[in-house]
Structure 1
Amino acid sequence: MTNPGFGDFACWLLTPPSPEDLEALARKEAGNGAEGLEEYARERGPERGARDAGEALWRLLETPFEPRLVPYASVYRDGARFGPSLVAFRGFLRRWDLVPDRGRFRDLEDHAGFQLDCLAYLGGRPDGHQAYRECLEEHVLPWMPRFLDDLAREDERLPYGGFYGSLARAARSLLEAEAVRLGLAAP
């Protein structure tokens, strides 16, 4: 595993890390912005860490009864799901001919995981610079830092938390670094 990036963060917001993911993190050296994830993996171990992260993900984002957070741009920007932010992001996807892979992603396009996955995809394309910049500046930075702060805070309240707080801090750090690198207003 290379240093965790937007693609890893996106994946782990949709499905908890596997024991293999945590084994790879435990072998990493600190200093890449993901120190908390690496420390979590070393302290909990792969099996317990994966189980705890799965329970945390369920409580934080997935339970239909009372999720602690609702990970959609439209909720953070517009106050409700299916708002203008979702419509604007769908327009962005059409403009850049980005079609969600239905086999890989079955939620709304303004889900935090999907938007981070878009950044990972666009950042890996040689012709994706302008779309990457637009995605980051217009669709991710206006809300994602607040969501990540909320995710870190709520994860700390869980008795089996730790993974998602660390993920939130690492993702926020990467967003800030990318904003600086591109000369955008820091979140």
Structure 2
Amino acid sequence: MTQELPTAEPRDETRALRADIYRLLGRLLREPPDGALLAWLATLDPEDDGDLAQAWQGLAQAAGKASPAALTRAHFRHLVGVIEGDVTPYASWYRNGALMDEALVALRRDLRRLGIARAEHSRDPEDHLAAELEVMALLVDTAAHEEAGFYHRHLAPWADVCLADLAAVDTPFYARLGELGRGFLAEESRRLAATDGETPVRFVTPPAP
């Protein structure tokens, strides 16, 4: 996704971490990790023993045992497929039972209002879960005061169910990714409904592809 929103200054550390995590989840849902990203994920070290920290640890352990080639095949099988994969990660599919339906129309209306457009190279509809997570990263990063409304309108109604389906697949890396996504969004639901909290992992910028 691309955006026309001004960058907020200064960049709050907690807000920056949240945006980075949204962006990472979107990246891993949209395409399989390359060797450098996979190796970096294997080094993540949670800072406490809470549920979300355990989810980070689970993803790190799965990353350490996976290979890029195997995850490329698994990503296709779970999230793309010849017709559709094990998981169809679109809001319209989960909310309306069909692709390119009402949820996508409502999302596009909000994106136009927010000044956010689909990247020219992207062929996925904007209601792909990765795209909605990327929008959240933009909103959090720019402190646009729209993040709670966008989250509750477009992610809260379906993302947890989609990620639960991902957590049930037979590839450990993608199952752990589903668990991590659920844990992070559960924290975001509480945060956006009340007050800010802390993320249990120290985030370092991953290597460039």
The normalised TM-score by structure 2 is: 0.76
Count of equivalent residues: 171
* Matching residue's letter, 1:90: R
8 Å CA contact 1:30, 1:38 repeated in 2: no
Higher relative contact order (CA 8 A, sep 6+): 2
CA displacement 1:123-160 (0-9 Å, x = unmatched): 1113x222x1122111001001000001111x22xxxx
Tell me by how many angstroms 1:43 deviates.
2.7
Where does residue 180 of structure 1 map in the other structure?
190
* 2:103 maps to 1:93: no
* 2:62 maps to 1:40: yes
* Matching residue's letter, 2:165: D
Query: Secondary structure of the equivalent of 1:81?
Result: coil
Tell me by how many angstroms 1:30 deviates.
2.9
Backbone CA RMSD of aligned residues: 1.8
* Matching residue's letter, 1:134: G
Aligned-partner Cα distance in 1 for 2:136–2:179? 17
Where does residue 142 of structure 2 map in the other structure?
125
* Matching residue's letter, 2:25: F
Tell me by how many angstroms 1:102 deviates.
1.4
The normalised TM-score by structure 1 is: 0.85
Tell me by how many angstroms 1:42 deviates.
2.1
Query: Secondary structure of the equivalent of 2:117?
Result: coil
Tell me by how many angstroms 1:173 deviates.
0.9
Aligned-partner Cα distance in 1 for 2:31–2:25? 10
Q: Which runs of at least 4 in structure 1 moved beyond 2 Å after TM superposition?
A: 30-33
8 Å CA contact 1:5, 1:171 repeated in 2: no
* Matching residue's letter, 1:24: W
CA displacement 1:11-62 (0-9 Å, x = unmatched): 1111101110111112221344411110112233xxx2x2222111100121
Tell me by how many angstroms 1:93 deviates.
0.3
* 2:175 maps to 1:165: yes
Unaligned stretches of 5+ residues in structure 1: none
The change in CA–CA distance for 1:94 and 1:52 in structure 2 (over 3 A counts) is same
Where does residue 137 of structure 1 map in the other structure?
152
* Matching residue's letter, 1:121: L
Aligned-partner Cα distance in 1 for 2:111–2:84? 30
Tell me by how many angstroms 1:64 deviates.
2.0
Query: Secondary structure of the equivalent of 2:142?
Result: coil
Aligned-partner Cα distance in 1 for 2:93–2:69? 28
8 Å CA contact 2:44, 2:56 repeated in 1: no
Tell me by how many angstroms 1:66 deviates.
4.5
Where does residue 161 of structure 2 map in the other structure?
146
Unaligned stretches of 5+ residues in structure 2: 1-16, 48-52, 195-209
8 Å CA contact 2:77, 2:85 repeated in 1: yes
Aligned-partner Cα distance in 2 for 1:183–1:66? 34
Tell me by how many angstroms 1:96 deviates.
0.9
Where does residue 77 of structure 2 map in the other structure?
59
